Structure formats: structure tokens, C-alpha cells
A = this chain, B = another copy of it.
Amino acid sequence: MKSLVRTALFTFAAAGVAVSAGGAAWSAESLDDVMKRRGLTQKDVLAAAKTYVPTGKRDEFIAFSSGGQSGQVIVYGVPSMRILKYIAVFTPEPWQGYGFDDESKAVLAQGRIHGKDILFGDTHHPAISETGGVYDGQYLFINDKNNPRIAVIDLHDFETKQIVANPVMKSDHGGAFVTPDTEYVIEASQYAAPFENGYVPLSQFNEKYRGAVTYWKFNREKGRIEPENSFTVELPPYSQDLSDFGKGPSDGWSFTNSFCSERYVGGIERGRPPFEAGCSQKDTDFLHMINWRKAAELFKAGKTTKINGHDVITIDTAVKEGVLFLIPEPKSPHGADVSPDGRFIIVSGKLDSHTWVYSFEKIKALIDAQDFADRDPYGIPILDLKKALHTSVQVGLGPLHTQYDSKKCVAYTSIYVDSQVTKWDYCEGKVLDKISIHYNIGHLMTMEGDSVTPQGKYLVSLNKLAIDRFNPVGPLHPQNHQLIDISGDKMELLYDMPLPLGEPHYAVAISADKLKPGIRYKSGWNSRNDERSKYRTRPGKEKVVREGNVVHVYGTTIRSHITPEIIEVEEGDTVSIHLTNLERAEDETHGFAIYGTNVNLSLEPGKTATGTFKADRPGVFPYYCTEFCSALHLEMQGYLLVRPKGMKEAAVEATEGTVYGQADYDKQHKTNLETQAVIDSVVAFITSHNYQDFKPVVALVEDATDQLGFAADARKKAEGFAAKKDWQNATLWAGQWWQYQVKAADIGLRAKTYLEQHGAKKIK
């Protein structure tokens, strides 16, 4: 029996079978065999080779996609099209602890609408921060269409740091887009509504309902929007749509679409034609052009009206001061896209088959000359389309959105009704190529394709319908993002990517090497306000502090225990558990969840997070680590005990479940010494090679050294108790010593394998 049950760390090193490593003989099946078996064409294999990213290799670009009604942001790699992360933004998400720890609840609370929690968002348009019009990879902004809000995500840790709710809008759409140096983030309204929060009948739609654009001031040093330094420009009730900022020659200006400049109010239930009929009647809508730099000066000069405590530049002021202009644009547009050199603005109307290219030079000349064709009912000057247009191109039925290539004058426009992407030349005004997509494309994305330095190479078609593209998963289908190779003259379809959660609206992609995310926090960090947490706890300093009927638990986590392991409170107490993850090793996240409390924390290395709840009934509430962190993960547990209110309890000595004697101790001690011999052999292997040339191995060695330090501490305790013949404690601490050895061995073996597979060399 003994031979069967003998735990055998020390025998493993001699185990017989070789591991299939890089150099092993490869499958008998040839590429031709695989193609035949799987019915692949040569074109398929080429597409596979263009998108496949082998283990450990990296994607070239990182895309940030809106998560639509999921309220989140989706991060995926290009060209592999593998989703790397869902970032929780407007919707609570427990894996990230978002909405389940106090720190992130404070972020979500910033997004309350009139004091009410709105626990989802309809995210639309992500924007990456820019420096000089170039993506800098520092921050990401995204809007919520349903409840007009903007969120700020820090790309250092991919966490949502701030949500600002718009003080005057009742929905938004045309955000987020940033100025070339990210001084401002724009948010444009969608469905017109009164700025005031009270009731205004629809009969006063033309008079009291309004659109708007808000310019949110961003403080890059703090990484936060400053609402007090932000302002809004009032607009007519034209259902504003997408926006973009000028750059180069058009820097200082912003452009915002609209789609129901008919100002139609439906009511099909009362016999009126529906909104869709009345909002698509005219052949043109209005592109709004705003001199935001001048508007910012008006704001600073106090030429604003306070509405709901927020600074608004009225239409009258904007017109009088010459910051707001209109120009006709094709029917029901979706996208105002400034060219990389800032010379052109491209607009497409979903119900037109042309895309229009405006010359900013011409626009500017008309404005400077005060050469207006007309004024709208609100007195806003309207420019003459013919005088401002550079060209117009018939690109297909239902054109929406345009992005740019690295090649001069080359643009791509999504064609909704035809289910195509059209590649065209906006300088010469001619179509170059078309490709079918599946199906009904909304936005499209080229790499850094709305910056001043588009990267070319790939285009992603954000299709609204997938229909038959994927294995069926019920009536609710995934969306389909199709990857298209744009490096050659002809576009080539490479990959169909299902979107498993949410309907993405828009996406932006950045060169992967511009992102420099961290892998750990400074110890004791509140990641949501980016300050050291006042609840941070150092190892050995764990404590429980009662303040009235609030019990603060200052605890820690480390492989593989939570300190404290037993928490005792009284019925009616409010319990606030602050945990600091003491780990420094990459990817060593611990989780923490307690039965019956709706508390779930995600504790990445260094983070301090807090779960607070009311202990409103007596009982026994197990808690544990929710991230499989180590071999002893399941044993990383504890109990919260809630005593009935006022209960006095005599201290009772518990009987031990298992009693250990000297033989147990001796056996464990012997095992540990043998284990140490194996570890020593692994350490000898590592240190006899040039491991310091391998960054990941250096990190593993540091981690293993930490674990061996802990092992030495536990050994001291074990031998101390043994000296006092306390065999119970001696045996258990010897067990703990062995647990640290197992963790060290785990890490050491990973380091050894890495060195073997990466051609490490023996050193003298």
C-alpha cells in the first residue's frame, strides 16, 4: 500500500517518457492530406497562414471594439482575431470584480442618471488617445448611447477609471472622438430632447427639443475628464449622428452628422407615418461644423448659459460668434471622416449611393468670406454644397463609414445594403475595388485608420448580420467581424470572427507595440482611483478593526491562503473586507467570494480591493479564492461566522479532525528533505545555464526564490514545535513547508522547461 500512496515529487524527476518539444517528429499527415480531409482550397490555406499566430507569438495590432448593448469593450488581436479581453465599462462583471467590489462600485456610481443606477450601457464608439494626431496607446474613451455617458479606460491596466454622465443630453451617439492632442473628447447627442430634465410635450419639438455636442476636457496627467472645464454647444433638433475632429489644416474644427433634419415626429400608433418615413424624406441632411477652439475660448470668456449647472453655448451665441455652420450632406449619413492629412471630410448617406468628399480649404474660404447659401430655421449659416465639394463617387447602395489606407488618397467605405466594402480614390474620385462581406456591414476599421498615420495591411468589416456564417447557437446570433487583407491591389477575405457577446458598433486598432500595459500594481493599490489604498495591508500586519457596528478586516492573499482564515462578526454588523494581494508574479491573480453576500473580488498582483456587505442574518458563510492560483487553490478557503445578535459564547476547545504524532512529523520531514534535493537539482540546472538572458525565467526565479524563503520560515516553525515535542503543530508546519516547496518546484520546472525549449546554453 505504501508504494501506491507515497507522494512522489522526488521520484518524478526520473519519470520515463520524453516530452514532445519543439524538435519532435511531426505528424504523418501532410498539408495536402489536411486540405483534402478538411476540404480546404489553396486560398483557404493562404488565409490560414496569414492569420494563424503560433503559441507564444504576438498579434501585430490590437483592436478595441465597442461591445454594444453588453456595455463593455472588446479587445482582440489582429490578424489572429482572438479576443483577449472584455473590459467591464458600464455593466457589472464579476470576473473583474467590477460592480462587486467597493472601488469599482464607486466608478459605476459616477454613471448614475438622476440618482438611479443604470447597470448597462449601449457602447458605440471607442477612441484611443492621440498625440499630434497619432495614436499614443495611453487611454481609451467610449460612449453609452442609451444614457449619454463617456467612460475613461486606462490602457496601463485596461480598467475603467471614470464615467461622466452628460448633464443636458438624453441620448448620445457621436462620441467618443478626440482632438489630435486629446485636449477634448467629443460627445454628440442623438435623439433630440429638452436640455431641462422636466416634461416638455412633443408639440414643442421644434422650439424646445435640442441636440448638442459636449466637449469634455481631458486631463492627461490625471487621466481623468474634468467636467468643470467642459462645455456644450447647443444644436437644432436634427438627430445628430457621428463626429470627427479636424487635423492639420482642419485642426480646431469638429464635424458632426445628422439624419432627421426633417425634424419629423412619428406616431404610427396614432395614424401618423412612422419615424423611418418622415426622417428619410429629404435628399440631404446637415453636416454640423464647429470651430471648437474658438468655442473653448467663448467658454473661457464666460459666454455661456448655465443649464443643469453646466456651461452651454447657445445656438444664438454660436451663430453670433461665428463658431457654428451647416452644409448639406447625403441622406441619412453615418460617418464624417476626416482624411489623414486633414484636407478632406468624407460623408456617406445610407440612403444615397454616393459618398461625398468635402474640401476643408473650400469650406474655410466660404466661411472666411461669409459666403452662405442660406440659413436654417435656427439662423445657422448653411454653406453652398457645390462650392465646398471636392468630388462625389458612386460607391454602392447604403454607404456608411469610411476609413483610410496608408496609401495616399485610398479610402474604404462600408456599403450596408449591398453587403460590400468599396475601395476608392478620394483624390481622383474613382472606385478601385469591391469585395462582398457577410452580411450588412455597419462600420469598418483599418489599422489606425482614423489617425494621421494609417497603417494599411488589414481592414475589419463589422457586419451586423451573420445569419448562416457560423454553427447555430439559437435565435440570437453572434455578429461577424470579417478580416480583409488590403495589402495588395485586390482586397482578400481572410477570416470570419464571431462576436460572442454584444453588438459591436465601431472599433479602433493600434499597433501592438504602442501598448505598454503593466503586469502588477504597486503594493496596496486601489486601481480605480489610482492611489495607494488606505486599506492596504502588509504581510504579518493583518488585523480586524471594529468601528461601531462596522467591522473592517485588513487581510492579505498569497499562494495558497487568505489571512484571516476565520472572521467572526455579529448579526447586524456591516463587514468591510479589504484584501491586498501580496503576489508579485505575473498572472498570479487571486479571487475572493463569500457565500450569500454578492461579494466577488479580483485581486491582481499588488491590488487592494474591498467587499462590503451587511451581515444581516446569523450563520456560517464559507469564502475562498476564485482564481485557480496554485496546486493548493481549493484549500485557499475560510469561514465567516455571524453570531446571533447579543449572543455570548463560552470559548470551547475544538477537537482536531486528525491527530499527528512524531512518526507523522518524521515522515513529512524526510519527504521535505528529499523534495529539497530535487529542487536543488532544478536550481542547479537553471543556474548552470544562461537563464539571466531570458526575462520570463528571471521572473520565475525571483518568484521561486520567494517561495523558498517562505518554505524556510515554515521549516523554522516546524522544527521549533518539534523541539518542544508539539507534534501536531510540528507536523502541520512541516506540511506547510512542503506546500511552499511544491510551489517552488512548480515554478522551477516551468523555468527549466522554458530554458530547454528556448535553447539556453550551459555556462561555466
B27 touches A46 (CB 8 A): yes
CA distance A482 to B632 in the complex (A): 23
Complex CA gap A159/B631 in Å reads 34
Output the nearest chain B residue to A501 by Cβ-Cβ distance. B86
The smallest C-beta distance from A609 to any residue of chain B, in angstroms, reads 12
Residue A5 is within 8 A (CB to CB) of chain B in the complex: yes
A673 in contact (CB, < 8 A): no
Does A576 have its Cβ within 8 Å of any Cβ on chain B? no
In the complex with contacts A655-B206, A658-B282, A277-B732 CB distance below 8 A: yes
Q: Is A646 an interface residue (CB 8 A)?
A: no
What residues on B are CB-neighbors of A478 within 8 Å? 84-85
Q: B49–A587 contact, CB under 8 A?
A: no
Cα–Cα distance between A256 and B422 once the two chains are bound (Å):
60
Taking a contact as CB atoms under 8 Å apart, the answer to whether A596 and B352 are in contact is no
| A435 in contact (CB, < 8 A) | yes
Decide if A283 touches B5 in the complex (CB within 8 Å): yes
Docked Cα-Cα span, A193 to B622, in Å, equals 8
CB distance from A495 to the nearest CB of B (A): 8
Interface check A239, CB cutoff 8 A: yes
Residue of B nearest to A627 (CB): B503
Contact B635 A95 (CB under 8 A): no
**Secondary structure at chain A's binding surface: helix, strand, loop or mixed?**
loop
Structural contact, B498 and A82, CB atoms closer than 8 A: yes
Residue-wise interface mask of A (478-518) relative to B, using a CB-CB cutoff of 8 A (1 in contact, 0 not): 10001001011011110111101111010000001001011
Chain A 188-200 per-residue mask, 1 if CB under 8 angstroms from chain B, else 0: 0011011001111
CB proximity to B under 8 Å, residues A63-100: 67-71, 74-77, 81-86, 91-96, 100
**A620 and B83 contact, Cβ closer than 8 Å, known pairs A44-B54, A113-B596:** no
Kindly identify which residue among B38, B83, B262, B619 contacts A49, using a CB–CB cutoff of 8 Å: B38
Q: Is A763 in the interface zone, CB < 8 Å from B?
A: no
A531 interface residue (CB < 8 Å to B):
no
A418 close to B658 (CB less than 8 A): no
Asked whether B198 lies within 8 Å of A618 as measured between CB atoms, the reply is yes
Contact A598/B117 with A277-B739, A473-B517, A607-B475 known, Cβ cut-off 8 Å: yes
In the complex, the chain B residue whose C-beta lies closest to that of A26 is: B43
Contact A474 B269 (CB under 8 A): no
Q: Does A360 contact B (CB under 8 A)?
A: no
**Partner pick for A397 among B54, B628, B745, CB 8 A cutoff:** B745
B56-A275 in contact (CB<8A): no
Question: Could you give, for residues 107-120 of chain A, a 1 whenever the CB lies within 8 Å of some chain B CB and a 0 otherwise?
Answer: 00000011011111
Q: A164 at the A/B interface (Cβ < 8 Å)?
A: no
Interface residue A723 (Cβ < 8 Å from any Cβ of B)? no
Decide: B268 and A564 in contact? CB cutoff 8 A: yes
Do A628 and B505 contact each other (CB < 8 Å), given the known contacts A55-B438, A84-B473?
yes
Q: A19-B436, A202-B654, A419-B749 are in contact. Are A4 and B385 (CB under 8 A)?
A: yes
Q: Is B26 a contact of A470 with CB atoms below 8 Å?
A: no
- Using known A-B contacts A561-B275, A658-B281, determine if residue A605 contacts B475 with beta carbons closer than 8 Å: yes
**Residues of the B chain whose Cβ atoms lie less than 8 Å from the Cβ of A81:** 82
**Residue A433 CB within 8 A of the other chain:** yes
| Residue A293 is within 8 A (CB to CB) of chain B in the complex | no
Which of B52, B284, B436, B596 makes the CB contact (< 8 A) with A753?
B436
**Is A591 among interface residues, defined by CB-CB distance under 8 A?**
yes
- Is there contact, CB below 8 Å, between B93 and A624? no
State whether A626 touches B503 (Cβ < 8 A). Answer: yes
Which among A84, A194, A416, A477 has the greatest number of chain B C-beta atoms within 10 A?
Answer: A84
Q: Are A475's CB and B518's CB within 8 A?
A: yes
Residues on the B chain within 8 Å of A199, using CB = 618-620, 641-644, 647
CB pair B438 A56 closer than 8 Å: yes
Asked if A48 lies at the interface with its beta carbon under 8 angstroms from chain B, I say: yes
On whether the beta carbons of B191 and A624 are closer than 8 Å, the reply is yes
Contacts of A16 in B (CB 8 A): 431
Bound Cα distance A512, B198 (Å) = 54
Q: Which of B96, B262, B542, B634 is in CB contact (< 8 Å) with A657?
A: B262
Task: Give Cα distance in the complex from A436 to B752, angstroms.
Answer: 12
A602 to B13 CA separation, bound complex (whole angstroms)? 55
Q: Is the CB of B197 within 8 A of A617?
A: yes
* A residues 615-672 in Cβ contact with B at 8 Å: 617-622, 624, 626-629, 631-632, 634-639, 641-644, 647, 649, 652-658, 660, 664, 668
Inter-chain contacts of A406 with B (CB < 8 A) = none
B658 touches A587 (CB 8 A): no
Among A299-307, A311-319, A388-396, which stretch is in contact with chain B?
A: A388-396
Contact across chains for A11 and B353 when beta carbons are under 8 A apart: yes
Q: Are B191 and A637 closer than 8 Å at their CB atoms?
A: yes
Q: Are A435 and B19 in contact (CB under 8 A)?
A: yes
Considering only CB atoms, which chain B residue lies closest to A385 in the complex?
B1
CA distance in complex: A585, B621 (Å) = 49
Tell me which residues across on chain B come within 8 A of A156, comparing CB atoms.
474
CB distance from A177 to the nearest CB of B (A): 18
Q: Taking the complex as formed, is A259 at the interface, i.e. its CB lies under 8 A from any CB of chain B?
A: yes
Q: Which single residue of chain B is at the shortest CB-CB distance from A491?
A: B20
Interface string of A380-422 (1 = CB under 8 A from B): 0000011001001010111000000000000000001111101
Give 25 pairs: A residue, B residue, CB < 8 Å, sorted on A. A9-B397, A26-B42, A47-B52, A48-B52, A93-B501, A94-B119, A120-B598, A158-B473, A170-B622, A191-B639, A206-B657, A237-B657, A260-B635, A264-B732, A265-B639, A270-B566, A273-B729, A332-B632, A439-B750, A468-B586, A472-B517, A474-B518, A474-B519, A476-B604, A503-B591
**A-B pairs, 5 with minimum CB distance:** A263-B657, A48-B52, A94-B120, A475-B604, A277-B736
